[in-house]
Amino acid sequence: PQTLITLCHYAASRDSRFFPAPDTFRPERWLCRDTARHPFASLPFGAGTRSCVGRRVAELELHLALAQV
């Protein structure tokens, strides 16, 4: 069927079921690899064929920035 399914990234990334205290700045929340986390809880670049075309550029910039530290 021709069904369109959308996801509100803003709401999904602030869901307290997946991110305790979602509106609090806590960078350490990304350090642990929680295998119980829902796979679609955080999709900063989207997914599939319509994902962000700049994803690899952003990842390469991150690697360059870390290499210079």
How do the domains of the chain map onto residue ranges? 9-68
> What burial class does residue 16 get, using C-beta atoms within 10 Å of its C-beta: 0-12 exposed, 13-18 middle, 19+ buried?
exposed
pLDDT digits (tens, 9 = 90+) for 10-19: 888 888 888 8
| pTM: predicted TM-score of the whole model, two decimal places | 0.54
The separation between CA 64 and the C-alpha centre of its own chain, rounded to angstroms, equals 20
Known binding residues for heme are 52
Nearest to 50 by CA among 1, 6, 3: 6
List residues forming the annotated binding site: 52
Give tens-digit pLDDT for 48-59: 888 898 999 999
